[in-house]
């Protein structure tokens, strides 16, 4: 039997596994179905814009990060430590007072909660950051919504802050996931910074690839069958293995190992817009949709974090949509087809004026992973509040 380990999937997990095996002098090969490594952590360059496959950030609070990545080489650019919550037709900054003392007043008086909510959040942050990650997952478990209610947070603060925050991180809008996961996320966000590599999230797998011998990564090599210690590729080639690591999405893994236990996947749709407009904030905080109608959960401005995300003089806007039915409609070819075309749409970005119609939206292209870029030609109408109807689509990233 071969002593080689066969790793199926060249996403970040598969690449990290290969790196660990190489560090321990174990022979391995990574087989990847697509044409390039990286899995879901990809960045496409379109007309000078860097489009990550779904809105993603690198959290420096992740405990295993420095074991696999050279963070200095990624030239990380940091998001401000806080959020701007769109609530009651205004932007309300809720920031880390240690880093943004100028926002202490707005943080304490946040209208989407109460003063008691703010102090309870600070108390919760202090508690979870005092614990090791392992300890968080040893605590009593309950649904996150029940946990927050038991801690005494108001319904308004839960709905307008915790819900969009948790949905943005876990793509789950009802807070039914484990309280352990919520505490873990709070621990990660409070203990580190949300960052973007200067040249996009795709630099992360590329750095891992650069640490591995090129011959061990085989792209365009789809696995169709696993039997015992053999892996059969779509080409008919059979690979012998001492161990097999399946580092794919859950659906593919279930098919390969013949498992009937598979959770329903969830995803996001990330809409990218190009404009000359700059948001009306001193700092480019991530924007959460507190109480506005419409499908958007949060907004970000990647090019204001790293200028390399957009051509000079342009702002790249990322709008994240979670609703599955809306995502299904927006990612349908029936809307725009596969050829470039111009349409008139209702758009949705929070701001200071009511919803407006923006015409002459130019659909540029549809990329891998259902990624496209829409350029806004009429940039004077960029500031309008969340509206319910949406007629554009961009990046779909199933998780």
> How large is the average pLDDT for residues 65-84?
92
**Residue 359 predicted with pLDDT over 70:** no
**Residue 381 predicted with pLDDT over 80:** no
Contacts of residue 175, Cβ cutoff 8 Å, sequence gap at least 6: 143, 144, 145, 148, 158, 162, 163, 166, 182
> Sign of the C-alpha dihedral, residues 30, 32, 36, 40?
negative
Q: The whole model's pTM is what?
A: 0.79
> How large is the average pLDDT for residues 127-152?
93
> How large is the average pLDDT for residues 110-131?
92
The structure tokens listed for 181 are 């996961």
Highest mean pLDDT among 51-60, 92-101, 326-335, 375-384: 51-60
The structure tokens listed for 171 are 């793509």
If DSSP states are collapsed to H, E and C, what string results for 291-330? CCCCCEEEEECHHHHCHHHCCCCCEEEEEEECCHHHHHHH
Give the range among 28-37, 92-101, 209-218, 338-347 with minimum mean pLDDT.
338-347
Contacts of residue 123, Cβ cutoff 8 Å, sequence gap at least 6: none
Highest mean pLDDT among 17-31, 312-326, 368-382: 17-31
Task: Give the pLDDT band (50/70/90) at residue 349.
Answer: very low
Q: Say what the pLDDT of residue 296 is.
A: 79
Highest mean pLDDT among 71-85, 247-261, 277-291, 324-338: 71-85
Distance, CA of 6 to CA of 14 (rounded, Å): 10
**Residue 384 predicted with pLDDT over 50:** no
Instruction: Tell me the average pLDDT of the chain.
Output: 78
Q: Say what the pLDDT of residue 369 is.
A: 33
Q: Say what the pLDDT of residue 287 is.
A: 87
Using the structure block, give the residue that is written with the tokens 């598969």: 14
**Residue 171 predicted with pLDDT over 80:** no
Distance, CA of 193 to CA of 200 (rounded, Å): 16
Q: Say what the pLDDT of residue 326 is.
A: 59
Q: Report the percent of the chain where pLDDT is more than 90.
A: 41
Q: Say what the pLDDT of residue 291 is.
A: 77
**Residue 1 predicted with pLDDT over 90:** no
Task: Give the pLDDT band (50/70/90) at residue 371.
Answer: very low
Q: Say what the pLDDT of residue 42 is.
A: 92
- Residues 375, 362 contacting (CB under 8 angstroms): yes
**Residue 363 predicted with pLDDT over 50:** no
Give the range among 46-55, 59-68, 97-106, 158-167 with minimum mean pLDDT.
97-106
**Residue 365 predicted with pLDDT over 50:** no
């Amino acid at each position: 039997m071969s002593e080689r380990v066969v790793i199926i999937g060249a996403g970040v997990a598969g690449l990290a596994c290969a790196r660990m095996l190489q560090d321990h002098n174990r022979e391995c090969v990574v087989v990847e179905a697509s044409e390039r490594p990286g899995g879901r952590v990809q960045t496409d360059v379109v007309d000078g814009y860097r489009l990550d496959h779904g809105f993603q950030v690198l959290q420096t609070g992740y405990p295993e990060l420095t074991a696999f990545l050279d963070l200095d080489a990624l030239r990380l650019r940091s998001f401000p430590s806080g959020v701007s919550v769109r609530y009651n037709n205004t932007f309300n900054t809720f920031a880390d007072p240690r880093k943004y003392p100028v926002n202490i007043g707005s943080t304490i008086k946040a209208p989407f909660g109460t003063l008691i909510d703010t102090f309870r959040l600070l108390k919760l942050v202090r508690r979870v950051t005092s614990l090791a990650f392992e300890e968080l997952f040893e605590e009593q478990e309950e649904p996150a919504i029940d946990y927050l209610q038991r801690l005494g947070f108001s319904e308004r603060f839960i709905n307008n802050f915790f819900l969009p925050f948790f949905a943005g991180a876990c793509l789950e809008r009802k807070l039914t996931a484990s309280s352990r996961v919520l505490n873990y996320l709070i621990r990660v966000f409070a203990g580190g910074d949300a960052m973007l590599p200067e040249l996009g999230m795709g630099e992360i797998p590329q750095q891992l690839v650069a640490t591995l011998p090129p011959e061990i990564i085989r792209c365009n090599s789809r696995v169709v069958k696993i039997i015992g210690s053999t892996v059969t590729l779509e080409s008919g080639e059979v690979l012998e293995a001492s161990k097999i690591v399946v580092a794919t999405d859950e659906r593919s893994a279930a098919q390969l190992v013949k498992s009937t236990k598979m959770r329903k996947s969830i995803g996001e749709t990330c809409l990218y817009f190009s404009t000359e407009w700059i948001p009306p904030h001193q700092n480019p905080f991530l924007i959460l949709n507190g109480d506005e109608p419409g499908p958007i959960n949060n907004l970000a401005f990647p090019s204001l974090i790293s200028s390399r995300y957009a051509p000079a003089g342009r702002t790249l806007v990322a709008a994240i949509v979670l609703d599955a039915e809306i995502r299904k409609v927006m990612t349908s070819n029936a809307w725009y087809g596969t050829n470039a075309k111009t349409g008139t749409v209702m758009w949705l970005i929070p701001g200071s004026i009511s919803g407006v119609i923006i015409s002459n939206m130019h659909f540029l292209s549809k990329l891998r992973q259902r990624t496209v870029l829409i350029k806004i030609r009429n940039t004077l109408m960029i500031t309008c509040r969340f509206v319910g109807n949406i007629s554009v689509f961009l990046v779909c990233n199933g998780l």
